[in-house]
Amino acid sequence: MELGGAARHLAVLDDESSVPDLFWWSESRSLPVLILGGGSNLVIGDDGWDGLVLKVALRGIEHDRSAGRVTLRVGAGESWDELVAWTVGRGWAGIECLSGIPGSVGATPIQNVGAYGQEVADVITAVHVWDRRAKARRVLAADECGFGYRDSIFRRDPHAALVLAVELALRPGGAPTLRYGELARALAGEAAPSLAEVRQRVLELRRGKSMVIDPDDPNRRSAGSFFTNPVVQPAVAEAVVELAVREGIVDDAARVPRFATDDGRVKIPAAWLIEASGLRKGWREGAVGISSRHALALVHHGGGSTAELLAFARRVRERVRERFGVELRPEPILAGAQW
């Protein structure tokens, strides 16, 4: 987002053997540690980080093919989208719909990255971590990671562990995942789209929403989706629908997008709630505003501050709450800043 202050100290972690010393060094000086991946899902306060920023640069990809699947072990510092392209090129299915997402492999389990009908939790078999409290290396099975919608134990307790590597299980020769409506419609003319075709179409869809990194895009200073999609009780969702019909926001209840979740609740797209509250794409207040291509992305136009961005985000939240009684929550990690 090109916002935020400086780090007091910075270390680049490119060797696992350095981990104990780096944490000892920071703890002995009572310095907080901020673990940094690609920085694409991070909002940093204007005063910066008064401690140690640990930039994860652990590299390496190992793979083993057996029992009809390919198991990968990938260093946390590898580029996520480069990994997706590499696996698609080999015909290994499972993460093709997660194309174009910026950031590092180690960051993906933290918020259980997902898009276009896939989540990384669908293919993760294990996460290798440094347990900061036990001061030991551990391997957590997928069911120990507490994955949920844009959530995990790593996100709920950010000081517990440092992700070192991620294990993924992919399907060699497998068919692409086409469960997401927008993507399926975009590929409707293809009888049996390949993984490469699905990747290309996902990139096109993301580019149309300014959701890929492009230095020439006026919406480029963004953390992607700024809010998670609210997951509410059925009664709350029904109240949203009734209000939208009563006030003429939609002419038919079916036009309010909503999706049932496995736990019996209902997910309502935050982008729809924002626009239905009267906040249009491209709305701007000074140096910050809403992307001109996607209502869920907040952008910095240059010359602003993190304080301005968060104040604007809170105004968006209040507008949705006042209109629909639904609470929006930020998706990016906040460092040195308070929501």
Residues annotated catalytic, as ranges:
150, 225, 331
- What are the structure tokens assigned to 205, written together? 């869809």
Rounded Cα–Cα distance for residues 2 and 193 (Å): 38
Burial degree of 321 (CB within 10 A; 0-12, 13-18, 19+): middle
Using the Cα atoms of residue 216, residue 219, residue 221 and residue 224 in order, give the sign of their dihedral.
negative
Where do the DSSP E strands lie in the chain?
7-13, 33-36, 42-44, 49-56, 61-66, 69-75, 92-93, 114-115, 118-119, 124-131, 136-141, 161-172, 222-225, 231-232, 259-260, 266-267, 284-285, 288-290, 297-300, 333-335
Q: Tokens 């120990």 correspond to what residue?
A: 144
